[in-house]
Copies of this chain bind each other. A is one copy, B any other.
Amino acid sequence: MTGRIRNRELRSRIVEAEEAAQLIRPGDNVGMSGFTGAGYPKEVPGALAKRVQKAHEAGDPIKFGLWTGASTAPELDGALAEVDGIDLRLPYQSDPVTRAKINDGSLGYTDIHLSHVAQRVWQGFFGKLDVAVVEVSGITEDGALIPSASVGNNKTWLEQADRVILEVNSWQSEQLEGLHDVYYGTALPPHRMPIPITHPADRIGSPYFHCPADKIVAVVETDSPDRNSPFTAPDETSARIAGHILDFLGTEVESGRLPRNLLPLQSGVGNIANAVLAGLDSGPFESLTAYTEVMQDGMLQLLDSGRLEFVSATAFSLSSSALDRFNRNLGDYRDRILLRPQEISNHPEVVRRLGCLAMNGVIEADIYGNVNSTHVMGSRIQNGIGGSGDFARNAYVSIFMTPSQAKNGAISTIVPMVSHVDHTEHDVDVIVTEQGLADLRGLPPRARARKIIETCAHPDFRPALRDYVERAAHASYGGHTPHLLDEALSWHQRYVREGSMRAG
């Protein structure tokens, strides 16, 4: 197994996870690798959690700041949240235990645009990063680090931390070497230069992380698998949403507003995203590219069929079967895939230059086109904003998609006023549900409301939405974006009180 650690000096620092975890001091800010369940450390977090538990049992309330790329896995977020070991978590999570602790008020969570994280750490805005715990897939003779299944903020953690703990994971494919592109040309203003990417496939950095050996205080070996993303085959609702999006893209191409091979795709994860990608696989578009955050099953399928020429991402997010296929044939994919640091995969400059087609999920949208991506009933965080703002604001076309109902029809995802805003009307071009697609480009608020209600809302909820709009048109304080302040959030109140937004 030590074959993965080709550097003699670093081989001498191999320790057990428990010993490595001792090198983290109470109160430290710890930057861990990990992005959508890929490339997170598998051993040290658990050892740290055990240490926390013992300390707490002994009456010592130790906690840590936990910074990552994005969401990780039960062995990391779950384990540390379970023992109340996290003081402040950033910038994104999707773990059930962590979520519960955040929402019961016992865990602080700062939700940040994924492209903002690295630069704000460089700027010193979040305080000092003390320790980095980063999974790599190997170490070369001369001590260069071969990244793992995600890049995320690892370059920044390795650079900013005083002490570095590496996990070398031999479960990861050896063929990952050479796949990554770690950009070392960033700087703080006034010394910043343009990011020289003009095509998703452009390589502008190094395939390795570089970290001074004297900062590396421990090396831990593991061969544990990544958390797999569950894959559910597209259901009918997702397939209909995908159909509307494909129709829309077709019309855009026909009318000359999009090139025949579209523009670089950005796609969130999940059922709907996979359905859209599956649709693209049988659609009319060829020579596609993706400039996105994560590569999911649907993208692999498009690579297999040859429709997709290139994927630039910061992490993989594959189901176990896709991952098997991927790891077996990694050699075939290698020159069509590239993983970058998340400050580059999500960089507003690059997203805008390339003109990404952004497709993201929502919790709910309102009749005026504001989008809530994060908070259920205005207060309970689900995951976080992630990269949706990086892409939506800077996209060529910004599409948000959701089933028209949630919780078996108890909830309308189209509401009079969203209970929390993550994407304002200005950043939302298209809203699509299984009911239809509302093209909002250029429309003022009242016209948007008509279009969203008649196109996207579930028919059961349309009469109530129309009624709201009509009454608001007369009784609103101002007529630009008519609202009835005492009713705007009443649908959510009803759900909280009665378990349904449907009128008695």
Contacts and interface: CB of A to CB of B under 8 A. Distances in A.
A351 to B, nearest CB: 9
A449 to B, nearest CB: 12
Please tell me how many copies of the chain the complex holds: 2
Contacts of A90: 442
Interface stretch (A34-42, A73-81, A238-246, A489-497): A489-497
A451 B190 CA distance: 31
B444 A88 contact: yes
B426 A424 contact: no
A87 to B, nearest CB: 10
Given A257-B123, A353-B349, A478 B377 contact: yes
Question: For the side of the interface on A, what is the size category?
Answer: 35 or more
A403 to B, nearest CB: 21
Contacts of A111: 425-426
Contacts of A393: 113, 348, 389, 393
Contacts of A348: 348-349, 352, 393-394
A230 interface: no
A85 interface: no
Interface string A344-387: 00001100111100000000000000100001111111000100
Interface of A: 88, 90, 102-105, 108-113, 116, 120, 123-127, 188-190, 192-196, 198-199, 255-257, 259, 263, 348-349, 352-355, 370, 375-381, 385, 389, 393-394, 396, 417, 419-426, 429, 441-444, 446-447, 472-473, 476-483, 485-486, 488-489, 492-493, 496
A193 B188 contact: no
A76 to B, nearest CB: 19
Given A379-B482, A421-B421, A194 B194 contact: yes
A103 B480 contact: yes
Given A102-B480, A348-B348, A485 B377 contact: yes
Contact of A481 (B198, B199, B370, B379): B379
A401 B479 CA distance: 26
A380 B477 contact: yes
15 contacts: A105-B479, A125-B429, A125-B441, A127-B442, A189-B355, A190-B355, A193-B198, A349-B352, A377-B477, A381-B478, A393-B393, A421-B421, A423-B424, A486-B489, A486-B493
Contacts of A389: 393, 424, 426
A199 B189 CA distance: 10
Contacts of A478: 103, 375-381
Contacts of A480: 102-103, 109, 375, 379-381
A478 B419 CA distance: 12
Given A112-B426, A420-B481, A425-B111, A353 B441 contact: no
Nearest to A418: B421
Nearest to A349: B349
A194 B196 contact: yes
Given A257-B123, A380-B480, A479-B102, A424 B425 contact: no
A479 B472 CA distance: 31
A378 B483 contact: yes
Nearest to A425: B111
A113 B348 CA distance: 15
Nearest to A476: B379
Contacts of A112: 426
Nearest to A479: B105
Counting from the closest, the 7 A-B pairs by CB-CB distance are: A380-B478, A189-B355, A194-B194, A421-B421, A379-B478, A105-B479, A381-B480
